[in-house]
Structure 1
Amino acid sequence: MTLSLIPAPRALVVREGAFELAPETAVHAPRCHAARFLTELLRRATGYALPDASDASDASDASDASDGALRLSLDGPADLGREGYRLDVGAEGVRLRAHTEEGLFRGVQTLRQLLPPEIESPTPVPGPWRIPYVSITDAPRFRWRGVMLDVARHFFDVEAVKRFIDRAVPYKFNVLHLHLTDDQGWRLRIESHPRLTEHGGTSQVGEGPGGHFTQADFAEIVAYAAARHLTVVPEIDLPGHTQAAMASYPHLAPDGVTPELYRGIDVGFSQLAVHKSTTYDFLDAVLSELAPLTPGPYLHLGGDEAHQTVAEDYDAFMTRTIPLATRHGKTAVMWQEAAAVTALPEGTHLQYWRPTREPVPPALADAASRGLPLIMSPADRAYLDMKYDDTTALGLSWAGTLGVRQSYDWDPETLVPGARVAGIESPLWTETLTTPDDLDHMLYPRLPGLAEVAWSPAPKDWSAYVPRLRAHTLRWDAAGITSYHRSPELEED
């Protein structure tokens, strides 16, 4: 039997036979997000009135479960790590073990993919619901497996962001990077500076009304992500990409003159007043509100495409700004240009984003040699806003077109020699995207392959991957995802 698991697990043994889920099947589990998620998923698609998994009070309840049950427990060995799990399916039932709740949640996503594609249906459908007999031991290759959504170029509301999270969950992503500010709009309410959204949030690319998140909205997104074991990393892009901020508060502009709101897609023309002390007061005020809203350990401070800021000023600005994140208890994440900063704090994460055809900048190579962790997001491999091919209506092509195989067939550890690779991240910029269906079109079918690059051991085998990916289109169909790209690369010979 060939299974269509994506990302591929570290170790898999398949045996003859299958366990059949029935209306009377018991679910025994500790109270945790993984158990609730599994129970809700099964109830929704099967229509079975399964017992509430959260009724179990601790891990021992799962260990003592009777035969023919689904059993989740937190008694997995410590060497599975934070996100590893062990899944065994046999005649006696299903047993999922992990050392942490996060590991259980990742294992639930594998169990989900062992069930028929109809498990993704939003309404009950007939069975049978068979789970093949397997033994799986699994853990991720990289600790940072991210997706990024740009809500600045075009605004996407809370429900759209939740839907985006739902697209990432089955493929074991664990980071949601939200690009909250740019020239075209400021998307998070800052109480000490309300004009950032009252004025700076009213524009976007083109003629639309823009929009913004209240702090309650943002907290709802963070909670939704946390329940699915995704860490939210908010980005305030500095010192470029700041037209919306300066249009809201002109003292942030170098000449103090209020610029117009911006609705185009050019980059690199804006910069903050890097020599004014009031600029740093502003940034401290913004981060002092943002940090408590973000329970995760990271704040992304941008740093890219500051073409109007000379190198000396850029260095001075970043040297003064990055410690603000530290002061608020966070580790800074920066785009790769920040590698040129003279004294980057230990632990600062740098995000590599330029196309792989370009030489690695010496400053980035030097930062890597000093052990600063790199997040790999090369635009010609990981940028989900790139067109699939020359016929694609949506997306951009400044980094070239990005087909399904090109987004799958690469190794993050070969890009910067000697780098300490934290993982990968797949950005989705929204200059040309206006609806959730547009997002789906650019995500699928590339997103699963990028998940496998991030999770599964190297090397990758394209010929073995294609049949697995082709099978996942049935899952998208069952889920009602209708706008995914019908790639000719997935057609059978």
Structure 2
Amino acid sequence: MRVLRLRRALGTLLALGVLGASASCTAARGDDARGGGEHRAALTPFERLLPAPASARAAGPGYAVGPGTVIRTSRGSGEEVRRVGELLAEQLRRPTGLPLPVVDGALGDGIRLRIDEDAQGVGEEGYRLESRPDGVTLTARTPAGLFHAGQTLRQLLPVAGPGTVPGGEITDAPRFAYRGAMVDVARHFFTVEQVKRYVDQLAQYKVNTLHVHLTDDQGWRLAIDSWPRLAEYGGGSEVGGGPGGHWTKAEYRDLVAYAGERYVELVPEIDMPGHVNAALASYAELTCDGKAPARYTGVKVGFSSLCVGKERTYEFIDQVLGELAELTPGRYIHIGGDEAHSTPAADYASFMDRAQEVVARHGKTVVAWHQLSAARPAPGAVLQYWGHDRTPAAEKTRVATAAGAGNPVILSPADRLYLDMKYDQATKPGLAWAGVVPVKRSYSWDPGAYLPGLPESAVLGVEAPLWTETIATRADWEFMAFPRLLSLAELGWSPAGSLDWDTYSRRLAAQGPFLDAQDITFHRAPDVPWQ
């Protein structure tokens, strides 16, 4: 622990310029001793950006951010652009120590936010960043694009203190529309405030979706007015026998709004027809024999099932999903569908038919784990693939076939993007049923050419799930997520041609001081030349 603190302190001093060249060389020698590789030329600020932009060109002197710097939004650009400017100012004030007022009027020195619906090469989420001695201009077609531009600007400034944004131009747009992370609050309960912290961490790397696994055998985490015991009783347990907990509807709405302000769409998941012991324990009428099981605090899967032959079951899912849809402004509701080992195949297919109809009736698009491909995916339903290298070829083929019929795919291969898999056999916490996943493995694959028969055009995007059977604290959460979450961010955003481990590892190393400055606990992978 003392070594970790020393390294963090050294990184901060280097970033602040307190230590000189000799200390930098010492730090570099320490990295080499840990396996960081030979000395290389320092990366320029544009070269350090993560995720890598589509196009970046350094040119001439840049803009010095100082006490007189203001953030400018165009008059008439609307309240949302003003809000983006206020949020950017808030994000920059702490590291720079500057007041950075937000003012109306696009003319004049400063950081200028500009909407141009005809901007070329940026799409709906991309942007153009131009840095000159008189200021930095952020241009996008949408406020979301301006927000992403602001996150790039944050990386072009020092970790601490005022600095100069290097001169040049960036034109950027994402490769995939869906760039997601998932957190499981059912196995171990986490508060909305902790999830908000994760939202901020995701958004600064242009991750635009947060999938929240709200229910499982071990706990039900969202209040439902029509079925109150789900949260009151079913929420009162978790893995290991802890007290559990649940979110009120007001807390959930607050999280949705907080994420939306950072252009992160919330995708809630109510898992069914399996992974439902918390619901069955709360309401015996959902079981086939009318007997409620005890609450469950273990980690086994596949033993529970809703009673698919009861009409009351479908009243239950209609009321639950109806309330959830009303709370959720986003496009998707995730209905799980994996590991339903206690539900016969024919029953599973008929149940998922009806569950998908319920989602559509409430105006949302279905997302389900890829096991839905063995049943009858509804038109446009999204399949989330969580297989791995050892997944049978026939299962992979079913996913590709469904994609060919019009069902987009989110890729979450467990041996690449499951953040709860150990980095190596010595990692604590974590699991290893899909194998260990070092940082290099999490990065070194191409989503556009991953599944046989699945063209890139059928890939909606990528998502990195974090299951919490072994994760009960913020420190463990962040340690398992970082830095592999940054692999996800780059795979989802950056052009395929820029994916290269050698250059990525150096850019990842440059993020270390930024993570330290935000007090993010992360794994210092031995094959990354940390600064």
Distance 1:454 1:222 in 2: 22
User: Which SS does the other structure have where 1:431 is aligned?
Assistant: coil
Amino acid at match of 2:431: L
The corresponding residue for 2:406 is: 371
Higher mean Cα deviation, 194-203 or 415-424?
A: 415-424
The corresponding residue for 2:14 is: none
The corresponding residue for 1:387 is: 422
User: Which SS does the other structure have where 2:62 is aligned?
Assistant: strand
Question: 1:27-77 CA distances to partner (integer Å, 9 max, x unpaired)?
Answer: 1114433211111122222232222x2x42xxxx32xx11x3110110252
Distance 2:478 2:513 in 1: 15
Deviation at 1:17, TM superposition (A): 2.9
Number of positions where the alignment pairs a residue of Structure 1 with one of Structure 2 = 474
Residues 185 and 212 in structure 2, CA contact (< 8 A), matched pair in contact too:
yes
Verify: 1:297 aligned to 2:338, yes or no: no
Distance 1:253 1:177 in 2: 28
Verify: 1:39 aligned to 2:83, yes or no: no
Amino acid at match of 1:224: Y
Counterparts of 1:391-402 in structure 2, within 5 Å, are 391-402=426-437
Verify: 1:7 aligned to 2:51, yes or no: yes
The corresponding residue for 2:198 is: 164
Query: Which of the residues 35, 57, 64 maps onto 1:20?
Result: 64
Question: 1:58-106 CA distances to partner (integer Å, 9 max, x unpaired)?
Answer: xxx32xx11x311011025254221010000011210000000011011
Deviation at 1:148, TM superposition (A): 0.3
Distance 1:35 1:26 in 2: 10
Query: Which of the residues 453, 478, 481 maps onto 1:440?
Result: 478
Query: Which of the residues 255, 264, 279 maps onto 2:313?
Result: 279
Deviation at 1:359, TM superposition (A): 3.4
The corresponding residue for 2:111 is: 70
Deviation at 1:490, TM superposition (A): 1.1
Amino acid at match of 1:354: G
Query: Which of the residues 390, 400, 412 maps onto 1:357?
Result: 390
Question: 1:381-417 CA distances to partner (integer Å, 9 max, x unpaired)?
Answer: 1100100001101111000000000000111122222
Counterparts of 1:51-450 in structure 2, within 5 Å, are 51=101, 53=102, 55-56=103-104, 61-62=105-106, 65-66=107-108, 68-75=109-116, 77-79=118-120, 80-118=122-160, 127-342=161-376, 344-360=377-393, 361=395, 362-416=397-451, 417-419=453-455, 420-450=458-488
Deviation at 1:232, TM superposition (A): 0.3
What is the root-mean-square deviation in Å for CA atoms of aligned residues?
1.4
The corresponding residue for 1:123 is: none
Residues 302 and 335 in structure 1, CA contact (< 8 A), matched pair in contact too:
yes
Query: Which of the residues 78, 99, 112 maps onto 1:49?
Result: 99
Gaps of 5+ in 1: 119-126
Higher mean Cα deviation, 456-465 or 142-151?
A: 456-465
Deviation at 1:264, TM superposition (A): 0.5
Distance 1:303 1:480 in 2: 36
User: Which SS does the other structure have where 1:426 is aligned?
Assistant: strand
Distance 1:45 1:295 in 2: 33
Deviation at 1:492, TM superposition (A): 6.7
Residues 510 and 530 in structure 2, CA contact (< 8 A), matched pair in contact too:
no
Q: Under a length normalisation based on structure 2, what TM-score does the superposition of the two structures give? A: 0.87
Deviation at 1:345, TM superposition (A): 2.0
Residues 254 and 271 in structure 1, CA contact (< 8 A), matched pair in contact too:
no
What is the percentage of aligned positions where both structures have the same residue?
Answer: 51
Question: 1:186-209 CA distances to partner (integer Å, 9 max, x unpaired)?
Answer: 000001111001110000000210
Residues 141 and 454 in structure 1, CA contact (< 8 A), matched pair in contact too:
yes
Deviation at 1:16, TM superposition (A): 4.2
Change (3 A) 1:42 1:414: same
User: Which SS does the other structure have where 1:104 is aligned?
Assistant: helix
Question: 1:453-486 CA distances to partner (integer Å, 9 max, x unpaired)?
Answer: 00001131100111110010011111122x2112
Gaps of 5+ in 2: 1-42
The corresponding residue for 1:478 is: 517
Distance 1:276 1:110 in 2: 53
Q: Under a length normalisation based on structure 1, what TM-score does the superposition of the two structures give? A: 0.94
Amino acid at match of 2:357: P
Amino acid at match of 2:243: P
Residues 76 and 85 in structure 1, CA contact (< 8 A), matched pair in contact too:
no
Runs of 4+ in 1 over 4 A off after TM superposition: none
Higher mean Cα deviation, 127-136 or 452-461?
A: 127-136
Deviation at 1:18, TM superposition (A): 3.0
